[in-house]
Structure 1
Amino acid sequence: MIAGLAAYLWWGLVPVYFKAVAAVSPLEVLAHRIVWALVLLAVWLGLRGQLAGLAAAAPGGVARLGILASTALIAVNWLGFIWAVVTDRVLEASLGYFINPLVNVLLGMLILGERLRRLQWISVGLAAAGVILLAATRTEGLPWLALLLAFSFAFYGLLRKVSPVDAGSGLLAEVTLLAPAALGLLAWRAVRGDLAFGGDMKTSLLLVAAGPVTAVPLLLFVAAARRLPYGTIGFLQYVAPSLQFVLAVAVFGEPFGVPQAAAFGLIWFALLLFSIDMRRALGARVTDQPRARAARSTCSR
């Protein structure tokens, strides 16, 4: 429980880190995130003797196309989040991660053929109404950044769900594939003379910290996911966008008026119904298991 909570608290507070490097180009921050996460994950998995799991994601492996697609999606998601923070749109980023669980349900129906229960349909409808209301009251129109974060992470999660590669090795494969482009970008900026890394000690150390900022919460999450019930993980996922919401409004001073309150209210109500439905489904599953065992025992006599 502690590891899972720590992971989501970390993700919830991570805008503070990206605000600290806001003077650096988002593309350079992304490049450092990739490079230093690669170093940290390679060392971690190497010490644990888990680098062999990377073979399943190698170019000849069955997971090749999935890893290539998930690599593109996670790069888009990371850059989108960095962009949201440095352009003072943390509130919109939190919206994206609030609606992400509902997008997951929608993708499960459209792609995996899963059937939605009544409360799930209502939740998806309310969330869509919230997004439409926000779009109608914004001069910018649709909250495209929130939708980008929600859908890119939902598709990423879907690909990782069906991948034979474990989470740690999968992320290592993704950052390994991204590393040449990241190193090329850093070299190009160095030649142009506008590379932030190396300019001063504080900025350089902050950019190196992009590695643990990326990798540590994932490792905590993986450790928690192995021990905690799926339902607990489902409820913990609201910790991160809730913290991001508080930071956006109370710390970063982003505008939050009546239209935003109404839109977020619809989405929060949708999440409440979604959580109630998830709890009922988990309760029914737990109740049905002893009955199924009893039925099998009766039939075997």
Structure 2
Amino acid sequence: MASGPDTSEARRTRVGVLYALAAFFMWGLAVPLHFKLLASIPAPQILAHRIVWASLFALGLIVAFRQVGKLIEAVLSRKRLLLLGISAGLIAINWLVYIWAVNSGHLVQTSLGYFINPLLNVVLGVLFLRERLRPAQVAACLLAGVGVLVLGISSGEMPWVALVLACSFGFYGLVRKIVPVAPLVGFCVESLLLTPLALAYLAVTFADGSAAAFRGNVGLDLLLVLTGFSTAAPLIWFAAGAQRLKLSTIGLLQYLAPSGQLALGVLAYGEPFGWIDAVAFGLIWTALAIYTGSALRSAPDR
């Protein structure tokens, strides 16, 4: 009988790893491939469809999981609604830049953004949450900054796509950290807040004849509808994985997504990746290794 709890915990961990792997597979490979199939459509239209269909998908899950009461509670709280409005704006910026970047041949930069993001989170924690940095974390952040600077000097401009993605998602995470709502409820409220703007924009495209959807191309229409699933599903799987796994485990697994994006951009789509890029990414990967090692040494068992 003594092996029962251990077996239960092992099963919980296995399920958590499967959820996390599914989420990071979606973000690293399936989502960019999905948007590549929609490359003929302007990024703002893809974003608008993503918002509308994600809202419907999230609402369906809210009803299925019987969380309507929690959704109403979140909407009726002025403070929560204001904060979720800010996070909605941040995630909309992140989505728009990501969609544009994927379909404009900048997958390598998107991967850079999400490699930088964990280190930016550390800085935001210090600036806004009064968290303390260990010496290894300071070194990691400085090293990552050097990597970004190398890319900027080599290309003649800062890697703005990577920086916008990292900053928008970093501040999004900061806001969501201080809003006391469940992940699904928060995501649903954010989507619903953005939906009126998305619908208004789509109405304009239909009025001026520039709309790409519902013009007789059933395959394209289906791909647009599925943006709701590809947006909501990995977020829900990630939340399910995070509930079952150590934070240190999630921290390690999260690098799978930008690794997939990098491999996809270089190997599948032939995006340039020269020796200077290798040096810059090497510095950032070294920074991540230092940061992760420090986090693992100081992380509690749960």
Task: Give the TM interval when normalised to the shorter protein.
Answer: over 0.9
Aligned with residue 114 of structure 1, among 131, 134, 137: 131
Quick one: which amino acid aligns to residue 179 of structure 2?
S
1:56/1:165 contact within 8 Å kept: no
Unmatched 5+ stretches in structure 1? 290-301
Aligned to 1:26: 43
Written as runs of structure 1 = structure 2, the 5 A alignment for 1:134-213 is 134-139=151-156, 141-199=157-215, 200-213=217-230
1:56/1:62 contact within 8 Å kept: no
Written as runs of structure 1 = structure 2, the 5 A alignment for 1:262-273 is 262-273=279-290
Written as runs of structure 1 = structure 2, the 5 A alignment for 1:282-301 is 282=299, 285-286=300-301
Aligned with residue 56 of structure 2, among 39, 46, 51: 39
1:93/1:145 contact within 8 Å kept: yes
Cα RMSD, aligned residues only: 1.1
1:55/1:61 contact within 8 Å kept: no
1:57/1:67 contact within 8 Å kept: no
1:97/1:149 contact within 8 Å kept: yes
Quick one: which amino acid aligns to residue 207 of structure 2?
V
Q: Does 1:50 align with 2:73?
A: no
Using the TM superposition, give the Cα deviation of residue 225 of structure 1 relative to its aligned residue in structure 2, in angstroms. Answer: 1.2
Using the TM superposition, give the Cα deviation of residue 18 of structure 1 relative to its aligned residue in structure 2, in angstroms. Answer: 0.7
Aligned length: 284
Q: What CA distance in whole angstroms lies between the structure 2 residues aligned with 1:118 and 1:69? A: 32
Using the TM superposition, give the Cα deviation of residue 59 of structure 1 relative to its aligned residue in structure 2, in angstroms. Answer: 5.1
1:56/1:63 contact within 8 Å kept: no
Q: Which has the larger radius of gyration?
A: 1
Aligned to 1:126: 143
Q: What CA distance in whole angstroms lies between the structure 2 residues aligned with 1:235 and 1:56? A: 34
Q: What CA distance in whole angstroms lies between the structure 2 residues aligned with 1:254 and 1:71? A: 31
Quick one: which amino acid aligns to residue 135 of structure 2?
R
Aligned to 2:14: none
1:8/1:239 contact within 8 Å kept: yes
Q: What CA distance in whole angstroms lies between the structure 2 residues aligned with 1:252 and 1:56? A: 46
Q: Deviations over 1:95-127 (max 9, x none)?
A: 000010000000000111111001100000000
Quick one: which amino acid aligns to residue 46 of structure 1?
V
Q: Choose 59-68 or 211-220, whichever is displaced more.
A: 59-68
Match of 1:148, SS state, is helix
Q: Deviations over 1:44-92 (max 9, x none)?
A: 1101101221123315433122111101001000001001101100100
The TM-score, its normalising length taken from structure 1, stands at 0.92
Quick one: which amino acid aligns to residue 11 of structure 1?
W
Q: What CA distance in whole angstroms lies between the structure 2 residues aligned with 1:276 and 1:233? A: 13
The TM-score, its normalising length taken from structure 2, stands at 0.92
Match of 1:205, SS state, is helix
Q: What CA distance in whole angstroms lies between the structure 1 residues aligned with 2:209 and 2:231? A: 27
Aligned to 1:99: 116
Q: What CA distance in whole angstroms lies between the structure 1 residues aligned with 2:259 and 2:280? A: 15
Aligned to 1:81: 98
Q: Deviations over 1:119-144 (max 9, x none)?
A: 100000000000000000003x0001
